[in-house]
């Protein structure tokens, strides 16, 4: 019968968590054999020059390799750091902007114009106002339709989460009054003077 060792097995040391975010290095592709040979030779020389114990060398190895790759090949930028292009405006949106600019110019002209010219400018302003109202109504309908489609997609994706989000979030807390005070308050609020329920 084998004798069990009373000492428990040693746990491996916990890995150090790297503080902060380090962007990934733009390493060469696996096909580029020559590039990888030079990287291998350079890193071997750098690591051999390190004078310390084996544990400390292992701790520093990751940082050394990362800094070497960062200096030589550069790093990838985060998607959030890349400037997002401005959304492309539709013809309707462009026309709305153009009509708004025209209306502003007409208002400036109207202030400087004589009485006879003001009548013509008022007619032009009326035309622009009607056209803007039509375009804005159509744009609002498009946005509403898009919002409905988005809501429908969210519902089909996860109906339980969708319904849960509709309700108010659960609140938690501690009741700071006694039970008798609470009962007295509820009686005052929900009972009339005769003692019957409201």
Q: What tokens does 146 get?
A: 């898009």
Q: How far apart are CA 160 and CA 50, in angstroms?
A: 57
- pLDDT tens digits, one per residue of 119-145: 888 999 999 999 999 999 999 999 999
Q: How far apart are CA 128 and CA 126, in angstroms?
A: 5
Q: Supply the pTM of this predicted model.
A: 0.42
For the residues 54-72, what does the mean pLDDT come to? Answer: 82
Q: What tokens does 167 get?
A: 């309700």
- pLDDT tens digits, one per residue of 76-126: 877 665 566 777 888 999 999 999 999 999 999 888 888 888 888 899 999
Q: How far apart are CA 98 and CA 92, in angstroms?
A: 10
CA R_g for the chain: 36
Q: Locate tokens 């319904």: which residue?
A: 163
Closest residue by Cα to residue 63 from 22, 35, 13: 22
Q: Cβ(134)–Cβ(99) under 8 Å?
A: no
User: Residue 96 contacts by C-beta under 8 Å, 6 or more apart in sequence?
Assistant: 132, 135, 136, 139
Q: What's the gap between Cα 173 and its chain centre?
A: 30
Q: What tokens does 128 get?
A: 């622009």
């Amino acid at each position: 019968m084998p004798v069990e060792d009373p000492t428990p097995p040693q746990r491996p040391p916990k890995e150090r968590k790297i503080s902060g975010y380090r962007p990934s290095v733009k390493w060469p592709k696996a096909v580029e054999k020559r590039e990888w040979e030079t990287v291998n030779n350079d890193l071997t020389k750098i690591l051999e020059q390190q004078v310390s114990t084996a544990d400390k060398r292992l701790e520093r190895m990751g940082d050394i390799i990362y800094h070497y790759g960062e200096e030589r090949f550069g790093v990838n930028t985060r998607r959030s750091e890349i400037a997002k292009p401005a959304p492309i405006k539709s013809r309707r949106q462009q026309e709305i902007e153009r009509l708004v600019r025209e209306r502003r110019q007409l208002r400036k002209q109207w202030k400087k114009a004589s009485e006879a010219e003001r009548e013509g400018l008022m007619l032009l302003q009326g035309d622009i106002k009607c056209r803007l109202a039509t375009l804005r109504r159509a744009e609002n309908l498009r946005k509403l339709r898009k919002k409905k489609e988005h809501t429908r997609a969210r519902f089909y994706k996860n109906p339980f989460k969708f319904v849960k989000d509709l309700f108010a979030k659960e609140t938690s807390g501690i009741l700071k009054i006694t039970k008798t005070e609470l009962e007295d308050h509820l009686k005052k609020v929900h009972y009339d003077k005769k003692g019957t329920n409201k």
